[in-house]
Amino acid sequence: MKKLFKKVVICLTAVFSLAAFSACYKPNTSGQSVLTSFYPVYLITQRITNGTEINVQNMARPQTGCLHDYQLTTLDMRLLSSANVLIINGAGMEHSFIEKAVDETNINVIDSSEGLFDESGINEEHEEHFHSDEDGHDHDHEINSHLWMSLDMVSVQAQNICSGLKEIYPQYSDIIDKNTQLFINDINSLKELEKANQTGNDFNVISFNEAFHYLLEENGAQITAEIEIDENSTPTARQMAQMSDSAKELNVKAVFCADDNGRIFAETIGRELNIPVYVLDPLTYTVSSDDYISAMKNNILTISEAKNK
């Protein structure tokens, strides 16, 4: 009995020291610690810092998904206080917490969306609007902030992250430049792949995730109905009925969704209208790959399969 008790004590000690270790563990004390706001920014930043001593950590937990209404946790505040720089997606994605993060920790911020939208929030290429009303209050939720799902925009994001990091870590300028160029070369190969999807017949689709907006557009799809849901929300009955009606009217060929809450609704519509359902990866958490390029390649090939069916 005594022996057993002792064993239990040893086990508990092991658990506690591990917990204490994780709680105190700071990955980097030399000022080379970079925090990314969430997964897509993390994937891009990792490629850009590959081979340097810069330690990249992701703030949001892997299962968080997008950050549209995200609230900072105590752990996030601790990470923000110990990191040297925070890299954000921008375009409103981090609007619910970025002010608090900067005010309370004084952290440097690299906004990867810089220059993509003009002051009034209009990106002419993608016809996205960012309104201000009369009292000057910005409605940043009106922008589709899933920029990394556009090959054009992700190249700009990579360049912004590159120049931001070079300013803070000039000792790695050459390697950061080289990595960014390699990443953009890979993006350009994906653009070649997209070209095949941009020609041919009309390709009307419906999408159950606003994250796919830019990707579907860049691949020649006309989105006839789009439900703005994310990992944590579900469509209303009214939205479902509207989708179904527009799909019937407009000869919709495919339904796209993520492997999340929306999938079951997408499959319902698919069955009702006898249209195939395809799952795309929004890259907001590890789904098909932990590499940006291969995950996007899978997405483009899936759209191609849907289009040529």
Please say which residue, 38 or 203, places its beta carbon nearer to Zn ion: 38
Binding positions for Zn ion, 103-132, rule CB under 5 A: none
Q: Cα–Cα distance between 268 and 221 in angstroms, integer? A: 21
* Least distance CB 287 / Zn ion (angstroms): 14
Q: Which amino acid is at 262?
A: G
* Least distance CB 144 / Zn ion (angstroms): 9
Confirm if 230 and 210 have CB atoms less than 8 A apart: yes
* Least distance CB 169 / Zn ion (angstroms): 30
Single residue of 35, 56, 66, 116 touching Zn ion by CB under 5 A: 66
- Region from 62-70, 82-90, 129-137, 249-257 binding Zn ion, contact rule CB under 5 A: 62-70
Told to check if 76 binds Zn ion by CB under 5 A, we report no
Please report the sign of the dihedral spanned by the C-alpha atoms of residue 221, residue 130, residue 293, residue 162: positive
Nearest to 273 by CA among 200, 201, 204: 204
Structure tokens at 187: 């993006």
| CA-to-CA separations, 156 to 50, 81, 116, 183, in angstroms, rounded | 19, 28, 7, 11
Strand partners, 277: 255
Radius of gyration of the chain (CA): 22
Q: At what angle do helices 173-195 and 39-49 cross, to 10 degrees?
A: 120
Please say which residue, 66 or 266, places its beta carbon nearer to Zn ion: 66
Q: Cα–Cα distance between 123 and 118 in angstroms, integer? A: 7
* Least distance CB 162 / Zn ion (angstroms): 24
- Region from 97-105, 169-177, 205-213, 252-260 binding Zn ion, contact rule CB under 5 A: 205-213
Binding mask 226-245 for Zn ion (x = CB under 5 A): ----x---------------
Binding mask 16-55 for Zn ion (x = CB under 5 A): ----------------------------------------
Please say which residue, 143 or 211, places its beta carbon nearer to Zn ion: 211
Confirm if 66 and 198 have CB atoms less than 8 A apart: no
Question: CB neighbours of 201 closer than 8 A, spacing ≥ 6?
Answer: none
Question: CB neighbours of 226 closer than 8 A, spacing ≥ 6?
Answer: 206, 207, 208, 210, 213
Please say which residue, 64 or 244, places its beta carbon nearer to Zn ion: 64
- Region from 51-59, 164-172, 207-215, 221-229 binding Zn ion, contact rule CB under 5 A: 207-215
Give the CB-nearest residue to Zn ion. 66
Please say which residue, 211 or 255, places its beta carbon nearer to Zn ion: 211
- Per CB under 5 A, residues contacting Zn ion are 66, 211, 230
